[in-house]
A and B are shown apart, each in its own frame.
Chain A
Amino acid sequence: AQSVTQLGSHVSVSEGALVLLRCNYSSSVPPYLFWYVQYPNQGLQLLLKYTTGATLVKGINGFEAEFKKSETSFHLTKPSAHMSDAAEYFCAVSDPNFGNEKLTFGTGTRLTIIP
Chain B
Amino acid sequence: KAGVTQTPRYLIKTRGQQVTLSCSPISGHRSVSWYQQTPGQGLQFLFEYFSETQRNKGNFPGRFSGRQFSNSRSEMNVSTLELGDSALYLCASSLFPGETQYFGPGTRLLVL
Beta-carbon contact of A103 and B90 below 8 Å: no
Q: Enumerate chain B residues within 8 angstroms of A104, measured Cβ to Cβ.
A: 45
B55 at the interface (CB under 8 A from A): yes
B61 at the interface (CB under 8 A from A): no
Q: Which residue of B lies closest to A34 (CB)?
A: B100
Distance between Cα atoms of A92 and B58 in the complex (Å)? 16
Residues of the B chain whose Cβ atoms lie less than 8 Å from the Cβ of A61: none
With the chains together, A66 CA to B102 CA distance in Å?
A: 21
- Does A99 touch B at the CB level, under 8 Å? yes
Evaluate contact between B103 and A101: CB separation under 8 angstroms. no
Which of A16-24, A41-49, A78-86 has 4 or more CB atoms under 8 Å from chain B? Answer: A41-49
Say whether A49 contacts B55, CB under 8 Å. Answer: no
The interface of chain A, by Cβ under 8 A from chain B, is 34, 36, 41-46, 49, 90, 92, 94, 98-108
| Given A36-B103, A43-B103, 19 additional A-B pairs, CB 8 A | A34-B100, A41-B108, A43-B6, A43-B104, A44-B103, A46-B100, A94-B98, A98-B56, A99-B55, A100-B97, A100-B98, A101-B31, A101-B48, A101-B56, A101-B97, A102-B56, A105-B43, A105-B44, A108-B43
What are 14 A-B contacts defined by CB distance under 8 Å?
A: A36-B103, A44-B92, A44-B103, A46-B101, A94-B98, A99-B55, A100-B98, A101-B31, A101-B56, A102-B56, A102-B58, A103-B43, A104-B45, A106-B42
